[in-house]
Amino acid sequence: MKQRFPLVPLLTALFAASFFIVPLIATFYFSLKMTRGELGFAAYASVFRSADFLQTISYSTIASLVAIAVGAVIIVPTAYWVRLKVPKLRPVVEFISLLPLIVPPVVLVFGYIRLFGSNSWLPLTASTSGTDVLLVIGYVVLSMPYMFRAVDNGMAAIDISTLTEAAESLGASRLRTIALVIFPNVRAAIISGAFLTFSISLGEFVLASLLNRPAFGPYLVQLGQDRAYEPAALAIMSFAFTWGCMALMQLFATRKPGQRWLPRAAQRITP
């Protein structure tokens, strides 16, 4: 084909880029206008001075971190065991791990409220700590598709059967093998899944709101109804936060044990 100047592609790309960037610029500019007649970071200062902000963001941070830890403890041994011993069950486990993409969060939490309500067999929603547990479990479930895929990809990159044999012939128990050999080797994969989990659950609204927990998501919605400039500031911060999580996720996802900072393309050559 003749090489023409790519005018139409260029215009398309420019149009798409402006659709992506204009809202960010506009939001940023809007967030600077809190003090009348001048540009400044007053909205950001106001956000950070707010006690509610600090409380809800710490609550959500803790809930997300616990969810990441619980998720790793459930998923890493399972992914390991399925790869090593019961590959027949792999489709089942994979299917279950993808189910949260089909079940919307609002349906999931509806089921929780009914199944674990105050007069059920396991009344988790009857107490504050029980509801906290349920929220964390909900985040574990919501992040399962991403966590499982990240960990499973991580396991594909290392030779788990040889590592297991080596550990066993040195006398390690099953648990010790998982904790001291497999875990460290898929650490980068876990961390990569963890950042995605973190970016999903930190500002999560539906579960936190319906379980009535003082999390960041419900606080954001409330703030959006009460204020004008602070929400814009928070939107910018949250975009930066998402960007940071994705960047770190990419960084850890492409990194393999032993070959520290090598780009992925170089390793793909050998299947």
Q: How far is the CB of 73 from other proteins (least distance, A)?
A: 9
Q: How far is the CB of 193 from other proteins (least distance, A)?
A: 13
CB 154 within 8 A of CB 186: yes
Phi, psi at residue 116, to the nearest 5°?
-115, 30
Q: How far is the CB of 213 from other proteins (least distance, A)?
A: 14
CB 190 within 8 A of CB 140: no
Pick between residue 8 and residue 51 the one whose CB is nearest to other proteins: 8
Is position 184 an interface residue for other proteins (rule: CB under 8 A)?
Answer: no
Task: Give the C-alpha separation, 78 to 116, whole Å.
Answer: 25
**Contact residue for other proteins among 40, 62, 159, 259 (CB under 8 A):** 159
Is position 19 an interface residue for other proteins (rule: CB under 8 A)?
Answer: yes
Pick between residue 66 and residue 196 the one whose CB is nearest to other proteins: 196
Is position 39 an interface residue for other proteins (rule: CB under 8 A)?
Answer: no
Helix axes 187-201, 229-253, angle to 10 degrees: 160
Q: Residues binding other proteins: what is the number (CB under 8 A)?
A: 95
Is position 246 an interface residue for other proteins (rule: CB under 8 A)?
Answer: yes
Is position 111 an interface residue for other proteins (rule: CB under 8 A)?
Answer: yes
Task: Give the C-alpha separation, 229 to 161, whole Å.
Answer: 56
Task: Give the C-alpha separation, 159 to 147, whole Å.
Answer: 20
